[in-house]
């Protein structure tokens, strides 16, 4: 294992951010694919919170937080309840430097919170 990260966030906190509907802020935090997936999800706020927590957890697993990489370079994809991670740009370069070839990720929804665990392999 090359790294591990965990993050927890209140869904309501992300809901307030999304409700402001500030397109510029959304595009800094989430890439176009994530925004489309979250908007079409049965629970968009939960989906956005899951993406946000995934980005935080990946940054921790990389050992740099989100310093030097852009938030939207970490992409969370939820398909059939399973979370996968794709990195782009500087985030991908950082992972390659660390020899990370694969990500394992789990998540759960508990009492209005999303918790995400990621493992960099």
Which is nearest to 106 in space by CA: 35, 54, 31? 54
- Average pLDDT of the residues of the chain: 93
Do 121 and 62 contact (CB within 8 A), yes or no? Answer: no
Average pLDDT over residues 12-19: 92
Higher pLDDT, 66 or 4: 4
CA separation, residue 78 to residues 12, 34, 38, 46, 93 (Å): 19, 9, 9, 11, 23
Please check the confidence at residue 36 and state whether its pLDDT lies above 90: yes
- Whole-angstrom CA distances from 106 to 15, 22, 53, 71 are 21, 29, 11, 19
Q: What is the pLDDT of residue 11?
A: 98
Q: Which structural domain, as residue segments, surrounds residue 50?
A: 3-120
Per-residue pLDDT at 46: 96
- pLDDT confidence bin for 27, thresholds 50/70/90: confident
Cα 120 to Cα 98: distance, rounded to the nearest angstrom: 9
CATH number for the domain harbouring residue 51 = 3.90.470.20
Q: pLDDT class for 40, splitting at 50, 70, 90?
A: very high
Nearest partner of 31 among 9, 56, 14, 55, judged by Cα: 55
- Give percent above pLDDT 70 in the chain: 99
Query: pLDDT, tens digit, for every residue of 49-103?
Result: 999 999 999 999 999 888 889 999 999 998 888 999 999 999 999 999 999 999 9
Report how many domains make up the chain. 1
């Amino acid at each position: 294992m090359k790294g591990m990260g965990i993050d927890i966030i209140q869904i309501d906190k992300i809901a307030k951010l999304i409700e402001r509907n500030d397109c510029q802020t959304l595009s800094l935090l989430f890439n176009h694919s994530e925004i489309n997936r979250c908007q079409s999800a049965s629970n968009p706020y939960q989906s956005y919170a899951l993406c946000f927590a995934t980005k935080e957890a990946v940054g921790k697993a990389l050992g740099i937080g989100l310093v030097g990489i852009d938030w939207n370079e970490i992409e969370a994809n939820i398909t059939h309840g399973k979370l996968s991670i794709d990195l782009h740009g500087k985030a991908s370069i950082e992972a390659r430097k660390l020899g990370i070839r694969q990500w394992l990720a789990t998540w759960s929804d508990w009492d209005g919170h999303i918790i995400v665990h990621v493992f960099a392999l």
